[in-house]
Chains A and B, each alone.
Chain A
Amino acid sequence: MIRSISTINRSMNVLQEKQENASANIANISTPGYKFQNIIASTLESHNLINHQGGPHVNRRVGVGGFIFGNQIDEVYSDFSQGNLYETEKATDFALDGRGFFTIRMDNGTLAYTRNGNFRLNHENELVTLEGYHVLGRDGNGNIGIIYGDENHIHAGEVLITDFNEYRNLRNLGETLYEAEEAGFIMESPFLRQGYLEMSNVHIGDELVRLIEISREFESHQKLIHAADETLSKAVNEVGRV
Chain B
Amino acid sequence: MYRILSNSRTGVRAQETKVNSLADDLANLQTYGYKKKEIGFQELITNEIHHHDVLKSDNVDHSRINVGTKAGVATVNFQQGILVPSESDFNLAIEGSGFFGLLDQDGNLILTRNGGFQLNEDNSVSDDNGRLLVIDLEISKENWATGPVSISHDGRITQEIDNENRVLGKVVLFEPHVLDSLAPLGESGYLPAADVELYSSMENPERFGKIIQRHLEASNVEMSRTMTDLIVAQRAHAMNIKAIQSTDEIMNMINGIKR
- Give the interface of A toward B (CB within 8 A): 10, 13-17, 19-24, 26-32, 34, 37, 39, 42, 44, 70-76, 88-90, 92, 116, 118, 120-123, 125, 130-131, 149, 152, 171-176, 204, 207-208, 211-212, 214-215, 218-219, 222, 225-226
**A123 CB contacts on chain B under 8 angstroms:** 178, 181, 193, 195-196
A225 pairs with B257, CB closer than 8 A: yes
B74 pairs with A21, CB closer than 8 A: no
Closest Cβ–Cβ distance, residue B55 to chain A (whole Å)? 4
- Give the interface of B toward A (CB within 8 A): 1, 3-4, 7-8, 10-11, 14-15, 18, 38, 40-46, 49, 53-57, 59-60, 62-69, 71, 74-75, 77, 79, 177-181, 193, 195-196, 232-233, 235-236, 239-240, 242-243, 246-247, 249-250, 253-254, 256-257, 259
A72 pairs with B54, CB closer than 8 A: yes
- Complex Cα distance, B58 from A73, in Å, reads 9
**A149 CB contacts on chain B under 8 angstroms:** 178
B43 pairs with A174, CB closer than 8 A: yes
Closest Cβ–Cβ distance, residue A116 to chain B (whole Å)? 8
**A152 CB contacts on chain B under 8 angstroms:** 178-180
B41 pairs with A31, CB closer than 8 A: yes
Instruction: Select from chain B the residue with minimum beta-carbon distance to A45.
Output: B57
Q: Which of A31, A70, A122, A215 meets B42, CB within 8 Å? A: A31
Q: Which of B18, B40, B247 meets A23, CB within 8 Å? A: B247
The B interface is mostly helix, strand or loop, or mixed, namely: mixed
B177 pairs with A125, CB closer than 8 A: yes
Other contacts beyond A20-B4, A28-B68, A152-B178: 20, CB < 8 A: A14-B54, A17-B53, A19-B250, A27-B8, A30-B71, A72-B54, A73-B49, A73-B55, A74-B57, A75-B60, A88-B38, A120-B180, A121-B179, A123-B178, A152-B179, A172-B62, A176-B42, A204-B239, A208-B242, A222-B253
**A88 CB contacts on chain B under 8 angstroms:** 38, 77
| 27 residue pairs from A and B, CB less than 8 Å apart | A16-B4, A19-B4, A20-B3, A24-B7, A24-B67, A28-B68, A29-B239, A30-B15, A30-B18, A30-B71, A30-B236, A31-B43, A72-B57, A74-B57, A74-B59, A76-B49, A76-B65, A90-B75, A118-B40, A120-B75, A121-B180, A123-B193, A123-B196, A149-B178, A152-B180, A174-B67, A204-B235
Known A-B contacts A26-B8, A130-B74, A174-B44; the reply to A16 vs B65 at CB < 8 A is no
B46 pairs with A174, CB closer than 8 A: yes
A17 pairs with B49, CB closer than 8 A: yes
**A71 CB contacts on chain B under 8 angstroms:** 55
Known A-B contacts A26-B11, A30-B15, A123-B178; the reply to A176 vs B43 at CB < 8 A is yes
Closest Cβ–Cβ distance, residue A212 to chain B (whole Å)? 8
B46 pairs with A173, CB closer than 8 A: yes
B41 pairs with A28, CB closer than 8 A: yes
A23 pairs with B4, CB closer than 8 A: yes
Q: Which of B45, B57, B74, B235 meets A175, CB within 8 Å? A: B45
B242 pairs with A211, CB closer than 8 A: yes
Q: Which of B42, B75, B232 meets A131, CB within 8 Å? A: B42
- Complex Cα distance, B242 from A208, in Å, reads 8
Closest Cβ–Cβ distance, residue B30 to chain A (whole Å)? 22
3 A-B pairs with the lowest CB-CB distances in the bound complex, closest first:
A27-B11, A72-B55, A174-B45
Instruction: Select from chain A the residue with minimum beta-carbon distance to B49.
Output: A17
Closest Cβ–Cβ distance, residue B52 to chain A (whole Å)? 10
- Complex Cα distance, B249 from A219, in Å, reads 9
- Complex Cα distance, B177 from A19, in Å, reads 47
Closest Cβ–Cβ distance, residue A128 to chain B (whole Å)? 9
**B40 CB contacts on chain A under 8 angstroms:** 32, 118, 130
- Complex Cα distance, B250 from A20, in Å, reads 12
- Complex Cα distance, B178 from A178, in Å, reads 29
Q: Which of B7, B14, B66, B178 meets A122, CB within 8 Å? A: B178
- Complex Cα distance, B40 from A22, in Å, reads 22
- Complex Cα distance, B4 from A214, in Å, reads 13
B43 pairs with A19, CB closer than 8 A: no
Known A-B contacts A72-B55, A73-B49; the reply to A125 vs B178 at CB < 8 A is yes
**B54 CB contacts on chain A under 8 angstroms:** 10, 13-14, 16-17, 72-73
- Complex Cα distance, B70 from A118, in Å, reads 14
Closest Cβ–Cβ distance, residue B252 to chain A (whole Å)? 10
Instruction: Select from chain A the residue with minimum beta-carbon distance to B45.
Output: A174
B77 pairs with A90, CB closer than 8 A: yes
